[in-house]
Amino acid sequence: MAEILLISVFTFLAFYGLLHIIMEIVSGISCKNRDDLCNAYTVITVKDRETDVERIIRAAAWRQLRTSSSDDVPEIYAVDLDSNDGTYEILQRLEPEYKFLKVFRKDEYMDLLTEPT
């Protein structure tokens, strides 16, 4: 009885591994055909978050670096929604540290969204 259970578990794990490999191959092929979906970016909106904006940005940057290849890190758009404290200045200070971080004020980001491509 234990032998049958062991064989069943190994069969299940082998099938799961094969399915995972197939899904990775299909995902790789589909990304080559759909550049817009594969070149995604993260948008972080902040307002008056002077005390924790640096931690938020560094955590997001670490996540991007950890999950991406070193040559293809998705961009992070940090959008300040007219803060009344030093949030925007902190974002500007962090921007040179991460080449994939782009800092915008609300109006600049809205202009970016409405530009014809």
pLDDT in tens, 25-36: 776 665 554 444
- Token pair listed for 9: 């578990």
pLDDT in the model for residue 10: 76
Taking residues 76-83, report their average pLDDT.
94
pLDDT in the model for residue 67: 80
Query: Amino acid identity, residue 108?
Result: E
Q: How far is CA 37 from CA 10, 19, 30, 33, in A?
A: 36, 23, 9, 9
Q: What are phi and psi of 53, to 5 degrees?
A: -65, -35
Residue 70 has pLDDT above 90, yes or no: no
Buried b (16+ CB within 10 A) or exposed e, 24-42: eeeeeeeeeeeeeeeeeee
